[in-house]
A and B are shown apart, each in its own frame.
Chain A
Amino acid sequence: MEQSIIRMEGVTKQRRHKTIGPIDLALPKGYVYGLIGENGSGKSTLIHMLLQTVFPDSGRISWFGHAYSKGIPTEVRRQIGYVAEKSNLEEDNLTAEEAAAFRAYWYPEWDQPYFEKLCDLFQVPKATRLRKMSKGERRKYEIAAALAPHPKLLLLDEPSSGLDPFAWKMMIEVLRECLQTEDTTIVLSTHIIDEVKRLADYVMLIHHGKWMGMAEKDSLLDNWKEVWAGCPEADLEELPNIVQTQQESHGVTRVVTTSCRELEQILNDSGINVLKTRALELDEILTLWVQGYKPAGVQEGEEQTHGTIKTS
C-alpha cells in the first residue's frame, strides 16, 4: 500500500446550518480524486481544512504522514497547490507577471518557463491587472500559477467555473499532462460530471455535510448497470444488490443493479437470458448513491481498515 498523502479520521466541522462529517478517508498518492456534492454540501470546507484555513472541531488530519497540529510548516505548504473557488483579493491589483513574481518568492520550486508556457497556451494577458481580467482569464491565471511550482498535492476547488468549453478542454489536457510527467495527487471539487469522467480515478461524495464515501470510478461504472433480463419481474425480486426492477413487457424485466457481474452470473446460472445491458451515467449513479444505495467496495470510514482501500 502506498503512503497516504492525506488522511482524515473522524473529522467534523460545525457550519451555520449543518455539521460536516464525520469524514474518514485515506488518499494514496498519485491519483485524482473527484470531490462531488451539491452547493453548500461541504466540499470547500473540506478543502479549507486541508489548507488549515479552517480547523476541524474534532478528528485528525495528516499530510504526507504528519499531523502538523501546530500549523503546516512552510516547506510542506510549498508542496501544496491551490485554486480557490473565489479568487484571492490580495492579488487583485497586480498584473499576472507581478503576481507570479510574488508567488515565485514563496515557492522555491517555481518554474517560470512553465508558468509562461501555460499563460501563453491559455492566452492569459500577462500585463493586465488581475481584477480587470474576465472571469475565465482570471481562472486560467490561477490554474497556471497553481501548477507552476510543480506541487505534490493540488487542491482544485471548482477550477472550471467561468471557463469556456475550449479553455475547459485545455485545462483537462494540461492537468493530464501534469499527471503523466509528475507524481501529482489531485483533489478536484467539481459540478462537472464530464470532468470527473475524464480525470478522476476515485470519486468522493458528500451530501448535505454527510460523508457518503469514496469509490473507484471504474468500479462504479462497471458495477452499476441497467440490465434487461428475459424473465418475469417476480423471478428477480429476491436478488441482492438490486436498486429497482420493472416489468417491461411479457417476460422481459428491466433491472438496475449495483453489482452487474454478480447479477449476470446469477442469471446465467438460472438459465435466464440477458437481452441487453446499459452502463448508468455517472450522474445517475451519484443520484442513487445519495439516496442510500451503496457502491460495492466503497471506502466509508467506520468499517474500513485504515490504510487499505477495498476493491471489489
Chain B
Amino acid sequence: MWIPIQVNENSAEPLYHQIESQLRSLIISGQIEEGTLLPSIREFANGLNCSVITVRRVYQDLESEGLLRTKQGTGTFVAKVGTSQREVFRREAVEEALNHAVDVGMSVKCEEDELRELFLSILKRKYHPEKGEGEA
C-alpha cells in the first residue's frame, strides 16, 4: 500500500506532526479504506526518508485515537471511522480553510461587508455556474 504523504522539511512543523495529520486526513476522509494494511514501520520510514522512531510515534498516536489497530505479527490496519467522526472532520477541514481565507482578507484590510459579498458571489459562481456565466 503506497500512502501519498508529502513532507515539507522546511516547515516549522515537526516531521511526525506533518505525517500524522496527513495520514489522519487520508483515513478520516475515506481515501484509505477501512481494513487497509499499512506499510511496516521500516518500509514507511524508508519511503519518507525519516526514521522509524517518527513513524512508530505516528502509528501509536493514531492507534490511541482509534484510527489504526495493530494485530501482533500481521501489521497495522486502518480501523473503522465512525460517521460522527467523519462529520466532525469534514466540518473542521472546511472551517480551517475558511478561517485562513478570512485571515488573508483581513491582512489586506478587507471590510467585513466586502468579504461577505465576495464570499456570496463565489458561492453563487461555484454552485450555479450557468447563471454566473450568463450574467457575465
**Footprint of B on A, CB under 8 Å?**
30-31, 176, 179-180, 197-198, 200-202, 216-218, 221-222, 225, 227, 260-261, 264, 274, 277-279, 311
Contact = CB atoms under 8 A, between A and B. Distances in A.
Please list the 9 inter-chain residue pairs (A to B) with the smallest Cβ-Cβ separation, ordered nearest first.
A201-B51, A222-B14, A279-B9, A277-B12, A218-B54, A180-B42, A218-B51, A176-B46, A264-B12
Interface of B: 9-12, 14-16, 40, 42-43, 45-46, 49-54
A218 B43 contact: no
A31 B16 CA distance: 17
Given A218-B50, A222-B15, A277-B10, 5 more contacts: A198-B49, A201-B52, A218-B53, A264-B12, A279-B10
7 contacts: A30-B52, A179-B42, A180-B46, A218-B15, A222-B15, A260-B12, A277-B12
Contact of A261 (B14, B42, B51, B53): B14
Nearest to B45: A201
Contacts of B9: 221, 279
A201 B15 CA distance: 13
Contacts of A30: 52
Given A180-B40, A180-B43, A225 B53 contact: no
A264 B40 CA distance: 33
A197 B51 CA distance: 9
B12 to A, nearest CB: 5
A32 to B, nearest CB: 8
B12 A216 contact: no
B49 A216 contact: no
A311 B12 CA distance: 18
Nearest to B9: A279
- Which of A202, A216, A277, A311 has the most chain B CB atoms inside 10 A of its CB? A277
Contacts of A279: 9-10
Contacts of A278: 10
B115 to A, nearest CB: 22
Nearest to B55: A218
B49 A197 contact: yes
Contacts of A218: 14-16, 50-51, 53-54
B42 to A, nearest CB: 5
Contacts of A197: 49
Contacts of B42: 176, 179-180
B51 to A, nearest CB: 4
Contacts of B14: 218, 222, 261
Contacts of B50: 217-218
